[in-house]
Amino acid sequence: MPRRRLPEWFLLLLPAIIVIAAVVLIPLIFSLYSSFTPYKLTRPSTLWKWIGTYNYEKILTDAKFWAAFGRTVLFLTIALNLEMLLGLGIALMVNKVTWGQRTLRTILMFPMMFSPILVGFQFKFIFNDNIGLVNNALQSMGFNVALPWLVDGKLAMFSIAFAEIWMSTSVFAILILAGLFAMPRDPLEAAKVDGCTPWQSFRHITLPFLMPFIYIAMTIRSLDVARAYDIVQIMTGGGPARRTELLWTLMSRTGYVDARMGLANAMGYVSILLSIFFTVYFFRKLSAARAEIGMGS
Amino acid sequence: MTEVTLSNVVKKYGAHQAVHGIDLDIADGEFVVLVGPSGCGKSTTLRMIAGLEDISGGEVSIGGRVVNDLPPRERNISMVFQNYALYPHMTVRENLGFSLHIAKQDPDQIKIAVDDAAAILGLDELMDRKPAELSGGQRQRVAMGRAIVRHPDVFLFDEPLSNLDAKLRTQMRAEIKKLHQRIGNTIIYVTHDQVEAMTLADRIVLMRDGHIVQVGTPLELFNTPVDTFVASFIGSPPMNLVDGTVNGANLTLTDGTILPIPLTARGLLHDGQAIHFGFRADNLMPIGHAVDEEGEIITLDLTVTLTEPLGTETVLFTEFGGAEVQAKMFNPRPVIPGEAMKFQMVLDKCHVFDAKTGKAIRS
Ligand SMILES: Nc1ncnc2c1ncn2[C@@H]1O[C@H](COP(=O)(O)OP(=O)(O)O)[C@@H](O)[C@H]1O
Ligand SMILES: [Mg+2]
């Protein structure tokens, strides 16, 4: 009697399916479910109590959450735009270099090679108000100040953004550089003959060609920044007194310090929306920019 | 008045010298074609005139003004590139109007100028398309349109037709010629195709290895090539060249054939001198299938080895003087390979080249 056998393709895919289910699907479903419960890590039985959308309602009326949310959006906007501008500048300069360009390109990647935790510690030291490099330098230049880099709300946001930008500008620089390398030389020469100054060539020819590359970098970075927990956690931990609280520090505080995992998961799902919004937005822009220069959409 | 003058223009890429001191005077409204095998420095020369390459030595002047140190935008030239070089993110209309837009012209005037150019080149239907949506021929037209909207002093073309198929190439060639007749600007045109050069040029500049070999009208280059290189580059099929030596008043070819020295070379040769004897295919015709010729005619008995019928004429391959040569048969009849035929040749129209230098010997 022939035994019914599973189709071969299914058997071959089975290990992958099991792994994905174990590490992605189950946690996803579990976290989504728990966001509808008052789940506290210290009282496991709370996991079985269904409270509907209570957590979500609570978040949406929570001023602290909205403060963190706003701060995060602002942080993302500023960081991404500055990274883009700096990356563009660096890429244009490196593209002009004729000697030692390979080395430069490698050096450009260095910041990406460090663990964000390490970068966080490094900048925490650099910006330390007592023993930090920055204040030390300021003082030896004769400014008799000890700026509270990581304590003052605005300065602390600046310091975090600085670290984040230092670490990730090279993503933009490298992708834009790739765009510059791929750029056909002919239209630029045609533009020169058509009467363009170097700035006009850049504005009308180079920049439209680079836009898809910029949006690729933006898309990648928007995913990245949405989970950029480590640097903030190391440098300020969201403090002091929540002055640098961003969504991800707020979430981890709620989940692990206050042990209110259900609520934290609900926050997670709200901020995923934010992340999806940014990604979809940049992806749309990317498709439009690709269509614009005739790369097909 | 926009004449273009090159005096002793040199281009070096590091240690490699691509252009060796070129002198050239181009008159206002003249159509000059730079032609030569690929790598001979045509594009480099053109790009120096355009301002896209630095000039390593000598002077380029346009309209009496030395432009060595002026950027392209101050030279009032326009250029059509081999790969069209259209702006991929702009529509045809924007491509055409771009230079005027950059020059900050009035939008209404830009529209008039663009529509005008589009009408000349038959682009009206395509104005809102992007370059990616055009065929090769259409892109080529847009590239030309972009060059003419601006009414520049000088047009530069760098192998504009080499990416098109044969039929389109012939058609566009005629259009370029019409365009020149209509607009009357100075045109400098680069190609490696001698047919294009012959058909388009008022004057051909034939280059080789960064030097100018010969400058002249198409017929001058065809009828009086200065050396064997010009003789075999210009004309299709290329000129037949047969080795020989001078023997008194005669030439002895490799296989022992003896011919009188052509009139134009008489008195300029010395006994025992090694030479190449040159003649064109249409100067070796089967008797009865020749076009009437005047002058000193000799007759030859030759065996046909291969035929290439072209309709109005047939190219016959045969052996002469120890080399394979091509002959032409007008009003052709079928010829079987191996058939022996009587040929005639006008001696006055033959050429003698010195074998050592390759230079033509004629008075
Ligand atoms: N950017 C360059 N760097 C070095 N050598 C070049 C460069 N451009 C052209 N050359 C050399 O100069 C010579 C002439 O090139 P070019 O003017 O492009 O020839 P063509 O007659 O085919 O247009 C060639 O030997 C080519 O290798
Ligand atoms: Mg070339």
- Measured by CA distance, the residue closest to atom 7 of ligand 1 is B13
| Interface probe with B: pick from A192, A194, A205, most Cβ of B within 10 Å | A194
Separation CA A261–CA A39 (nearest Å): 6
A229 burial type by CB count under 10 A (0-12 exposed, 13-18 middle, 19+ buried): middle
Q: How big is chain A, counted in residues?
A: 297
Check residue B10 and give its pLDDT: 96
Check residue A226 and give its pLDDT: 64
For residue A193, give the nearest of B72, B88, B130 by CB distance.
Answer: B72
- Measured by CA distance, the residue closest to atom 18 of ligand 1 is B43
Edge-to-edge strand list for the sheet holding B65-66: B16-26, B4-13, B57-62, B65-66
SS (H, E, C) A43-79: EHHHHHCCCCCHHHHHHHCCHHHHHHHHHHHHHHHHH
Separation CA A225–CA B187 (nearest Å): 56
Query: B250-289: per-residue pLDDT in tens?
Result: 999 999 999 999 988 988 999 999 999 999 999 999 998 8
Strand pairing report for B154-158 and B186-191:
parallel
User: Are B242 and B325 in contact, with CB atoms under 8 Å apart?
Assistant: yes
Distance from CA of A197 to the nearest CA of B (A): 8
Q: Whole-prediction pTM value?
A: 0.82
Cβ of B191 less than 6 Å from ligand 1: no
Which of A220-224, B80-84, B324-328 bottoms out in mean pLDDT, i.e. has the lowest? A220-224
Contact A186 B77 (CB under 8 A): no
- B36 occurs within a structural domain: yes
Of B81, B82, B36, the closest CA to residue B194 belongs to B36
Check residue B23 and give its pLDDT: 95
Chain B neighbors of A194, CB-CB under 8 A? 73, 78, 98-99, 102, 146, 150
Q: Region B219-227: what's the mean pLDDT?
A: 95
Residue B42, both tokens: 């045509």
Check residue A225 and give its pLDDT: 66
Half-sphere exposure of B337 (CA within 13 A, CB side): 7
Chain B neighbors of A214, CB-CB under 8 A? none
Contact B89 A190 (CB under 8 A): no
Pair B228, B300 in one domain: no
Separation CA B318–CA B238 (nearest Å): 15
- Pick the more confident residue, A296 or B336: B336
Residue A54, both tokens: 């209570």
Check residue B231 and give its pLDDT: 95
Check residue A296 and give its pLDDT: 54
For residue B72, give the nearest of A192, A209, A292 by CB distance.
Answer: A192
Separation CA A54–CA A110 (nearest Å): 46
Residue A53, both tokens: 């959308």
Check residue A243 and give its pLDDT: 79
Pair B150, B213 in one domain: yes
Q: Region B24-45: what's the mean pLDDT?
A: 95
Q: Region B108-129: what's the mean pLDDT?
A: 91
- B83 occurs within a structural domain: yes
Ranges of beta strands (E only) in chain B are 4-13, 16-26, 31-35, 57-62, 65-66, 77-80, 154-158, 186-191, 203-208, 211-216, 240-247, 250-253, 258-260, 274-279, 284-286, 297-309, 313-320, 323-330, 340-346, 351-354
Separation CA B46–CA B82 (nearest Å): 12
Enumerate residues 6+ apart whose C-beta is below 8 A from B305: B317, B318, B319, B324, B337, B338
CATH code of the domain containing B119: 3.40.50.300
- B216 occurs within a structural domain: yes
Cβ of B205 less than 6 Å from ligand 1: no
DSSP, collapsed to helix, strand or coil, labels residue A199 as: helix
Contact B103 A195 (CB under 8 A): yes
Amino acid at A32: L
Q: Region A54-82: what's the mean pLDDT?
A: 88
Distance between the two ends of chain B, CA-based, in angstroms?
Answer: 36
Distance from CA of A87 to the nearest CA of B (A): 23
For residue A194, give the nearest of B88, B98, B130 by CB distance.
Answer: B98
Residue-range definition of the domain harbouring residue B184: 4-233
Domain end residue (candidates: B218, B233, B248): B233
Say if residue B291's pLDDT is above 90: no
- B319 occurs within a structural domain: yes
CATH code of the domain containing B329: 2.40.50.140
Pair B59, B101 in one domain: yes
Enumerate residues 6+ apart whose C-beta is below 8 A from B21: B8, B9, B10, B57, B58
- B99 occurs within a structural domain: yes
Pair B176, B262 in one domain: no
Pair B84, B143 in one domain: yes
Separation CA B275–CA B285 (nearest Å): 23
Query: A10-35: per-residue pLDDT in tens?
Result: 889 999 999 998 898 998 898 889 88
Pair B211, B293 in one domain: no
> CB count, 10 Å around CB of A43?
11
- Number of structural domains (chain B) is 2
- Pick the more confident residue, B32 or A21: B32
| Interface probe with A: pick from B98, B149, B155, B163, most Cβ of A within 10 Å | B98
Cβ of B44 less than 6 Å from ligand 1: yes
- Measured by CA distance, the residue closest to atom 1 of ligand 1 is B13
- B362 occurs within a structural domain: no
User: Are B216 and B209 in contact, with CB atoms under 8 Å apart?
Assistant: no
For residue A189, give the nearest of B52, B77, B132 by CB distance.
Answer: B52
- Domains, chain A, in order of start with CATH, read 35-292 (1.10.3720.10)
For chain B, the average pLDDT equals 92
- B175 occurs within a structural domain: yes
Task: Give me the residue label for tokens 């964000």.
Answer: A116
Query: A124-168: per-residue pLDDT in tens?
Result: 888 887 788 888 888 888 887 777 888 887 888 888 889 989 988
Contact B88 A187 (CB under 8 A): yes
Pair B328, B219 in one domain: no
Chain B neighbors of A195, CB-CB under 8 A? 72-73, 99, 102-103, 150
Residue B13 Cα: closest atom of ligand 1: 4
Pair B83, B200 in one domain: yes
Separation CA B151–CA B31 (nearest Å): 16
Distance from CA of A215 to the nearest CA of B (A): 16
Which one of A11-25, A39-53, A224-238 scores highest in mean pLDDT? A11-25
Domain end residue (candidates: B195, B212, B233): B233
Pair B253, B104 in one domain: no
Check residue A297 and give its pLDDT: 40
- Pick the more confident residue, B37 or A132: B37
Pair B121, B67 in one domain: yes
Residue B40 Cα: closest atom of ligand 1: 21
Pair B181, B224 in one domain: yes
Query: B60-71: per-residue pLDDT in tens?
Result: 999 999 999 999
Of B96, B92, B102, the closest CA to residue B117 belongs to B96
Edge-to-edge strand list for the sheet holding B31-35: B77-80, B154-158, B186-191, B31-35, B203-208, B211-216
| Interface probe with B: pick from A183, A185, A192, A193, most Cβ of B within 10 Å | A193
Check residue B66 and give its pLDDT: 95
Pocket test for ligand 1, best of B22, B33, B44, B83 (most atoms within 8 A of CB): B44
Chain B neighbors of A189, CB-CB under 8 A? 52, 79, 81, 85
Pair B204, B254 in one domain: no
Domain end residue (candidates: B233, B258, B281): B233
- B347 occurs within a structural domain: yes
Residue B158 Cα: closest atom of ligand 1: 23
User: Are B118 and B99 in contact, with CB atoms under 8 Å apart?
Assistant: no
Query: A241-283: per-residue pLDDT in tens?
Result: 777 888 888 888 888 888 888 888 888 888 888 788 888 888 8
Percent of chain B whose pLDDT exceeds 70: 100
User: Are A120 and A233 in contact, with CB atoms under 8 Å apart?
Assistant: yes
